Structure 1
Amino acid sequence: MEYTTLGDTGLEVSRFCLGCMNFGSDREWMIGNRERSEEIIDRAIELGINFLDTANVYSHGESENIVGDAIEKHDREELVVATKVYGEMGEGPNKQGLSRKHILDQIEGSLERLGTDYVDLYQIHRWDETTPVEETLDALDHLVETGKVRYIGASTMASWQFTKALYESDVNDYARFTCMQPQYNLVDRQEEENVLPVCADQGVGVIPWSPLGGGFLTGKYSRDDDPEEGRAATDEHTRNRFTEENWAVLDEVEALAEEKGVTPAQVSLAWLLHRDVVDAPIVGPRSLDHLEENVAALDVALTDEEVERLEAPKDPVWSRAIADT
């Protein structure tokens, strides 16, 4: 395993982050088996992955419970455990968003489910248009000051929103966002025209979610497919990737994978690892084989010409369209 520091911090993280959204039973494409989920976490740690990402809303806390049970038998100080806050966690008022009350309530629930005294990285899952950002940042700063959170991060927002948050942190001496979690992969490159330049300029780490485009970049789909099972059967965003421009990208991915004797997934992940702005793509394997395939992408080298070849079919354009994660 290779390691890097997260953005401008001294926090050492593995070049892959284990995404834990699959660990639960909320949707049919999730693993739904606690023992199998823990096996994947154990194997990931054995392979050197020390960075795990979950959220309170993933299967309504079930994912955090599974992660908590799995990490109990490992050295907590070696692990970087990340979770998120924003989404709805029940019915009634104050059950979602980024108010001070919701943040302080939810960190307690996350810590209990994770079985830990602190979270290494606490991320706002989305921008909250109904709560002043100063209130959100003050609450997060309080968690850092009290030791319940080591670092804070953000996910999926417009660059002006992220820039505003960084500015308010600097002006008010609040803890600063140390990383951003955008949707970013070879067919979803809109963030190159949005938040990634801010991250590069401000020394903010980048941990992309959906690095394989919801499975599109693994080559599991073809132009003639009308998926009746798996994520594409129920996820409109995955099906919306079925465009001629994206198929052209996949053609290059598959051709290059065949030339190198590796898989399309490994080529797609290797491209992300070659992006200077990217610290640790978040992989979400549903099996041990998929996990080991993903990690082996560390050994896939790409020349500048090969990177250009993969990028050539598509010009990044900023779009506000996002998917739930």
Structure 2
Amino acid sequence: MTYTTLGDTGVDVSRLCLGCMNFGSERPWMMNDRDASIDLIHEALDHGINFLDTANVYSTGESEDIVGDAVASANRDELVLATKVFGEMRDGPNGSGLSRKHILDQVEASLDRLDTDYIDLYQIHRWDDDTPIEETLAALDRLVETGRVRYIGASTMTAYEFTKALYTSDIEDYSRFACMQPEYSAVARYEEANLLEVCNREGVGVIPWSPLAGGFLTGKYEREAEPTEGTRGAASESVRGYFTEENWAVLDAVRDVAAEIDATPAQVALAWLLERDVVTAPIIGPRSSDHLRENVDAVSVDLSDEEAARIEAPKTPRWPAPGSD
């Protein structure tokens, strides 16, 4: 495994981040096996992955609880544990959002489930239109000042919203977002026309979610065939949303390059992301040892400029993303 710094911070993270949304039982495509989930986390640590990303809302805390159990015997000083806040954790008032109350309540619950004294990267999962960004940032800054959080990050918003947050932090002398978590892959490149230029210019780390487009870029789906039962493509409309002719053309290029360099489509798709200057660590979501090893081996795959250009050719990045309202 190789390592890099998270944006302009001094913290070292592995070039792949282990996404932990699969470790739970909320959806049929999740692992639904606590012991197997813990074993897979241990295997990721053995491969040198020190960066783990979860969220309080994943299986309503179950993912955080599994991660906490899995890393209990690890060297905590070497780990970079990331989680998120925003989503609905209970019915009723104050059960979601980015108010001071919700953030301060939820960070304590996440610390308990992760069984740790501090969170390395605490991220807002979405923008909250109902809470002033000043209130959110003040609460997050308090967590950094008291040592419960080391760095703060954000996920999935407009460039205007993110720029406003960074500007507010600068003006008010609050802790600044060190990291952004956008959707980004060879078939989801709309953030190149939105968030990524802000991240590049502001020294913000980028940890893309869904780098394999829900499995689409692994090559396991075919143009003329229905997704196999049990796959995310069969269970998720969002994955089937990738099934456009433009995206099939990208996948054709990924498959061709993979065949030429003796790699798998998943490895080529990850290698393409890893070679983007703005990208810190794609968030992988393996559900088996074979998937994990395949993803880890992508770190050593090198693409030529010509190969990368072939993968990029079918897409023109646009914001808003095609099909969004």
TM class, shorter-chain normalised?
over 0.9
Displacement after TM superposition at 1:319 (Å):
2.3
Q: Which SS does the other structure have where 2:198 is aligned?
A: helix
Deviates more, 1:221-230 or 1:74-83: 221-230
Post-superposition Cα deviations, 1:266-303, rounded to whole Å, max 9, x if no partner, equal 00000000000000000000001100000000111111
**Aligned residues of 2:8 and 2:203 also touching (Cα < 8 A):** yes
2:255 is equivalent to residue 254 of structure 1: yes
What letter corresponds to residue 116 of structure 2 in structure 1?
Answer: T
Deviations 1:179-232 (A, max 9, x none): 000000000000000000000000000000000000000001000122252211
Aligned residue type for 1:290: H
Output the amino acid matched with 2:140.
L
Q: Secondary structure at the residue paired with 1:242?
A: coil
What SS does the aligned partner of 2:292 have?
A: helix
1:75–1:138 distance in 2 versus 1, CA, 3 Å: same
- Deviation sequence 1:71-95 (CA, Å, 0-9, x none): 0010000000000000000111000
Partner of 2:317: 316
**Equivalent residues of 1:182, 1:207 under 8 A apart:** yes
**Distance change (3 Å), C-alpha of 1:183 and 1:260:** same
SS at match of 1:126: coil
Match of residue 207 from structure 1: 207
Q: Secondary structure at the match of 1:165?
A: helix
Aligned to 2:60: 60
| Partner Cα separation in structure 2 for residue 194 and residue 321 of structure 1 | 13
SS at match of 1:63: helix
The aligned runs of 1:113-192 (5 Å cut-off) are 113-192=113-192
Distance in structure 2 (CA, Å) of the matches to 1:260 and 1:233: 30
State the aligned residue count: 323
How far apart, in 1, do the equivalents of 2:291 and 2:228 lie?
Answer: 22
**CA shift at 1:321, angstroms?**
7.2
User: Where do 4+ consecutive residues of structure 1 move more than 6 Å?
Assistant: none
Q: One-letter code of the match for 2:131?
A: T
What stretches of structure 1 of length at least 5 have no aligned partner? none
Please tell me whether residue 240 in structure 1 is matched to residue 241 in structure 2: yes
Structure 1 residue 320 displacement after superposition: 5.1
- 1:96 alignment partner in structure 2: 96
Let me know the Cα RMSD of the aligned residues.
1.1
In the other structure, the counterpart of 1:35 is 35
What is aligned with 1:306?
A: 307
- TM-score scaled by length of structure 1: 0.98
- On the 8 A contact 2:16/2:281 being kept in 1, the answer is yes
Structure 1 match to 2:70:
70
Query: Residue 252 of structure 2: SS of its match in structure 1?
Result: helix
Structure 1 CA distance for aligned equivalents of residues 178 and 99 of structure 2: 20
Query: Which ranges of structure 2 fall in alignment gaps of 5 or more residues?
Result: none
Tell me if structure 1 keeps the 8 A contact 2:64–2:114. Answer: yes
CA distance in 1, matches of 2:121, 2:150: 6
- Bigger CA drift: 229-238 or 216-225? 229-238
Structure 2: how far apart are the matches of 1:257 and 1:35? Answer: 33
Specify whether residues 186 and 314 from structure 1 end up closer, same or farther in structure 2 by C-alpha distance, changes over 3 A only: same
Match of 1:220 in 2: 220
TM-score where L is the length of structure 2: 0.98
2:88 match: secondary structure: coil
Aligned to 2:105: 105
1:115 and 1:202 mapped to 2: Cα distance?
33
Q: Which residue of structure 2 lines up, in the alignment, with residue 48 of structure 1?
A: 48
Separation (CA, whole Å) in 1 of partners of 2:313 and 2:141 = 42
Aligned residue in 2 for 1:278: 279
Tell me if the contact between 1:158 and 1:320 (Cα under 8 Å) persists in the aligned partners.
no
- SS of 2:214's partner is helix
